[in-house]
Structure 1
Amino acid sequence: MKQGLSLRVSQHLALTPQLQQSIRLLQLSTLELSQEVEQMLDENPFLELTEERAEREDFGLDAVDAPVSDGDRLSEEADFAPHSIADYASSTSASSSNEDETTPLSGSDEPDWEGDGTTEMTPDDGEWGVDAKAKTNNLDDDEQKDATELARSGESLQSFLHRQAAALRLSAEDAAALRFLIESLNDDGYLEDPLAELAQSLHPADEEQLHELVHHFTVALGLLHSLEPVGVGARDLGECLRLQLRALLTTADEDGELDRTEVLQVALAICKQPMELLARRDIKRLVQAGVGSDALVREAIALIARLEPKPGRRFMDVERNIVVPDVLVVPIGKVGGMPKFRVQLNPDVMPRLKVHDIYANVLRNHKASSSHAGLQQRLQEARWFIKNIQQRFDTILRVSTAIVERQKNFFTHGELAMRPLVLREIADELGLHESTISRVTTAKYMATPFGTFELKYFFGSGLGTESGGNASSTAVRALIKQFIASESPKKPLSDNQISDMLKEQGIECARRTVAKYREGLKIAPASLRKAL
């Protein structure tokens, strides 16, 4: 084997610390960005939050990427001016002019990243978390408690039941068994585990002790069924419905409502049948099973439909996802008979950050040395962070403006006028990569005259039309929803009929596609929509 020397020229993309941070910030949601800013404020002394509405200072890439160790050779204005994004939102209202600005991931920006992360500028890349992963919504217990305080619906199901159980005069054994069952309920208020398994989980010493535990749990289960909300502690849906019907039947007997009592008895008989018959509303099979006449069965099914299948639902500790829009779309009148919209960033989501003047000036007045390398790196990091946040909102605004331009009909007429749109179209128009558009449109929201939508909502595939054009899948879903909303309750439209109606509108949509869209809209099939 002969050895030799050769030269080879190649190109490769290096993910510098600044580029990694830019990509990470771009894909964060508003809440995650707020957490990232808070963490950076805690870690970096050169970064501060300002309440002032100072004008945005365009300090440029040169000042950001310049080595801090050579700061004494740079002008004071370029190197150490306070870099603020306090009023960035007001200065970035959508217009055709700002679409020419480049973004951190555009091809034209690649030369600006060269030189980032060199040993001269960043003595230790790991110092400010180059490999740090994007933050998530996972919070510590204390933080989560504060964040969801307003979303809590009062006390929990267990607390509500314990409070009722405390009013009962029970022996120590029965009280302990009832307390154990209450703590074994799931979020819906059901007792999923059999009593024998619950008793076995306490590791009884012998068979006799096991039977004694099962006995106490059986007594406690009867007590649990007597508590509010009615139906709590049921082992399955049928038992949950039967518990509620028995409570209604007791009230009807006491009030002497004979007609209502008869319907409740039929409903009880229905709930003792397989739940599949009730789910399919198979009236013919239920009548054949001898539960009652056709009219009574229909009335009983309507009564059952008004019961609560999940007794613990109103006690669920559900976090309400409050959506804060990143972009605002506001109508500003008409130009040439056509409505015109202004696209602007939401100033409430813009972090008001700037470089700390005093600390930056103190560091400038001391000659750069190895002992100040860490502080110099922190100052550089603060500049990068502000710049990357500005570029993040630049990109969001550019993409949002392009979406509004493409979907003008939606902002005028609603979702029925939505046109087909894919990520590639916006990427080609703005000169960005398709993955960048995907990051920008994920977990970013736009407030429109028709509501607040995720940016991804405005993208959808197209269905063929008779004229040779395409109809947006979003518009087709809206049309299906409109058809079903105007249907006769006694004769609901089948998927085949909806498909034929769409063909009459010139849209080629197969029955299976209609079924898929209907299920995506969480609309039941025709057999379950039919009024009894």
Structure 2
Amino acid sequence: MLRQNLQQKLLQKLSPQQIQFIKLLQVPTVSLDTRIKEELEENPALEDLSLTNMSEPEEQYPDRDPDEDYSGNEESNEYDEFNIDDYLQEENVNDYGSRYDQNGDDEEERKEMPIAIQSSFFENLQAQLDLLPMNDKDFRIGQQIIGSLDDDGYLRRPIMSLTDDLAFSQNVMAEDEEVEEMLKVIQGFDPPGVGARTLQECLLIQLRRKDVNDPIIKKAILVVEHYLEEFTRKHYDKLEKSLNMNSVELRGVINEILKLNPKPGDSNEVNTKQQQVIPDFHITNNDGTLILTLNAKNAPELRVSRSYQEMFEHYDKASQRDKKMKEAVQFVKQKLDSAKWFIDAIKQRQQTLLKTMNAIMQYQYEFFLTGDERNLRPMILKDIADRILMDISTVSRVANSKYVQTEFGTFLLKSFFSEAIQTESGEEVSNKEVKKILEDCIGGEDKRHPLADEKLTEILKERGYNIARRTVAKYREQMNIPVARLRKEL
């Protein structure tokens, strides 16, 4: 049975302006310029003063008085030449609102940034293969092997699978022995170690390309070939007994092995995805007084287009309005409102960034004066949110993607937040202070007898930090420090 009910609900929804502000707030400075350019491309009613100031000023045209009130026939003639349909067709609008001729683009405006060309790891191997004299069958086998390598330079596919691929995809009937022989040719390419199937084979390839008559190289080959597990586990006492070497000889062998590259494919590869870090804030020390400034890129000079404002006023006051006229007014109004919202969101972003960073700076004032991590106070998101009277999520968006440049380096804001640990005296300190002590203890330890987690726990307790051993192990792992056995050196 169908029924109609009248219900009244209280819902909380974000407005489009709030959503736009939230998205802009979490954008770092390095990406803000791209975001602004996207908005300029989509909205011709938005202008960048840094771009418009590059054009010729109006004062260079003496025939035109900027203070003159245009009216009468001049005004009507100016707008009679304007075609509404052109502005309704957004596909004719270029990056900054100008229109190009349909037959071609302006060469000066369409310049592209040059891109540096660098041969990749696989192109380098293919170039070396092209230089070798060989028949067509061996060449295609070599190509198949190169194409089957991983990004780190290893061949992790069985020879039998390569033989099947050659038969089914390239109609090349090859024996496993032929593929094996061609693999040995590839393993002679640069960088050394490429084409290896295991870490052991990779290290052996590199060692055998050195002076094999050198006693240290001979012993290094012996270690990698027969005692690799003991080497990786740093059981140096077993190696000394098995190879009948003293600690000095073993140290020379270990240093030779450590010079080798376990991932030869990464040696020539350029990480193009690495993002450049541009600080959002700058903190300077002026005779004991900290001064906070915002990166200038966070404050672009944007304004609403005057021509669009005049256009809207003219058509809004028009006495006759047909369907096209209403569409034009609606289109221009939408673009003007969007431009105003975007400018307001950018300004609100600047204010929120400064307000949040200033609260963090005041909270961690001693650290920014000295740069000593032991002066970092325990601080959570709620501490800053309560100070600036904003939501915790707003502080989180600022802290997760923004950087501050100081006299002691550039830091992610998130790194200043830490949990509190209570000492025996009842004082609350940051866990970063404990991590710094652990780092100093491990850095100054005797590498022949590194400190175990139990010993580190005892040292911290002697200094007044009552922390469990599992907590010490957790902090050590967070700092990417291996266990004591793997830190052992000769």
Q: Same fold by TM (over 0.5)?
A: yes
* Correspondence for 2:119: 155
Query: Which deviates more, 401-410 or 305-314?
Result: 305-314
TM superposition shift of 1:531: 2.1
Q: Distance in 2 between matches of 1:504 and 1:531?
A: 27
Tell me whether 1:305 sits opposite 2:258 in the alignment. yes
Matches for 1:238-317 after TM superposition, within 5 Å: 238-250=200-212, 253=213, 261-273=214-226, 275-286=228-239, 290-295=242-247, 296-317=249-270
Of 331, 348, 353, the residue aligned with 2:285 is 331
1:199 maps to which of 163, 179, 182: 163
3-state SS of 2:263 partner: coil
Alpha-carbon displacement from aligned partner over 1:356-393 (angstroms, at most 9, x marks no partner)? 11222222222166321121011000000000011012
Among 366, 375, 391, the residue aligned to 2:332: 375
Cα offset, 1:398, TM superposition: 0.5
Shift of 1:148: 11
Q: Given that residues 125 and 190 in structure 2 are in contact (C-alpha distance below 8 angstroms), is that contact kept between their aligned partners in structure 1?
A: yes
Deviation, structure 1 residue 405: 0.3
Establish whether residue 488 from structure 1 lines up as the match of residue 446 from structure 2. yes
Match of 1:218 among 158, 180, 186: 180
- Determine if contact 1:264/1:300 at 8 Å carries over to the other structure: yes
Deviation readout 1:297-336 (Å, 9 max, x if unpaired): 4432232112111112221231332110111111122xxx
CA contact (8 A) 1:466 1:507 kept: yes
Equivalent residue number for residue 37 of structure 2: 38
Q: Does the aligned pair in 2 maintain the 1:173–1:216 contact within 8 Å?
A: no
Q: Secondary structure at the match of 1:45?
A: coil
Measured after TM superposition, the shift of residue 455 of structure 1 is: 1.1
- Which residue number in structure 1 is paired with residue 22 of structure 2? 23
* Match of residue 456, structure 1, among 398, 414, 437: 414
Aligned to 1:510: 468
Letter in 2 for 1:374: F
Unmatched 5+ stretches in structure 2: 54-111, 318-324
- Check the 8 A contact 1:267/1:297 in 2, yes or no: no
Look up the SS of the partner of 1:331 in the other structure.
strand
Distance in structure 2 (CA, Å) of the matches to 1:201 and 1:420: 59
- Report the CA distance between 1:156 and its aligned residue: 1.6
TM-score normalised by L of structure 1: 0.73
Q: Which digits, 9 at most, give the CA deviation of each residue in 1:252-289, with x for residues without a partner?
A: x3xxxxxxx3332222222123643221111344456x
Is contact 1:174–1:219 with CA below 8 Å preserved after alignment? Answer: no
Letter aligned with residue 165 of structure 2: S
| Corresponding letter in the other structure for 2:189 | L
Deviation at 1:355, TM superposition (A): 1.0
Aligned to 1:416: 374
Secondary structure (helix, strand or coil) at the match of 1:516 reads: helix
Counterpart-to-counterpart distance in 2, 1:177 and 1:457: 51
TM-score (norm 2): 0.79
- Counterpart-to-counterpart distance in 1, 2:300 and 2:144: 48
User: In structure 1, the residue corresponding to 2:303 is in which secondary structure?
Assistant: strand
Query: Aligned with 1:181: secondary structure?
Result: helix
**1:102 corresponds to:** none
Question: Which letter does structure 2 place at the counterpart of 1:271?
Answer: V
CA distance 1:7–1:192, change in 2 (3 Å)? closer
SS at match of 2:210: helix
Supply the RMSD in Å over aligned alpha carbons: 2.8
**CA displacement, residues 423-451 of structure 1 (integer Å, 9 cap, x when unaligned):** 01111111111111111111111111211
Matches within 5 A, 1:418-437: 418-437=376-395
Give SS of 2:264's match.
Answer: coil
* Structure 1, gaps ≥5 residues long: 55-145, 254-260, 334-338
Instruction: Sort the Cα spacing of 1:17 and 1:348 in 2 relative to 1 into closer, same or farther, 3 A.
Output: closer
Amino acid at match of 1:429: R
| Partner Cα separation in structure 2 for residue 306 and residue 147 of structure 1 | 39
Residue identity opposite 2:203 in structure 1: L
Separation of aligned partners in 1, 2:21 and 2:386: 21
Structure 1 residue 409, shift from structure 2 partner = 1.3
Counterpart in the other structure of 2:130: 166
Contact 1:18/1:384 (CA < 8 Å) preserved in 2?
A: yes
Please give the alpha-carbon distance, in whole angstroms, between the structure 2 residues aligned to 1:53 and 1:359: 15
Cα 1:526–1:471 shift into 2, 3 Å: same
* More deviation, 500-509/448-457: 500-509
1:231-256, Cα deviation, whole Å (9 max, x unpaired):
11111110011111111244xx3xxx
Shift in Å at residue 37 of structure 1? 1.2
Higher RCO (C-alpha under 8 Å, 6+ residues apart): 1
Matched ranges for 1:103-114 at <5 A: none
Describe the shift of the 1:312–1:52 C-alpha distance in structure 2 as closer, same or farther (beyond 3 A): closer
Offset, 1:164: 2.0
Which residue of structure 2 aligns with residue 388 of structure 1?
Answer: 345
Range 521-530 or range 441-450, more displaced: 521-530
User: Which segment is superposed worse, 226-235 or 272-281?
Assistant: 272-281
Give SS of 1:341's match: strand
> Matched residues in 2 for 1:30 and 1:402: separation?
20
The 4+ residue runs of structure 1 with deviation greater than 6 A are 3-7
Match of 1:230 among 181, 192, 195: 192
Does the residue aligned with 2:284 lie in a helix, a strand or coil? strand
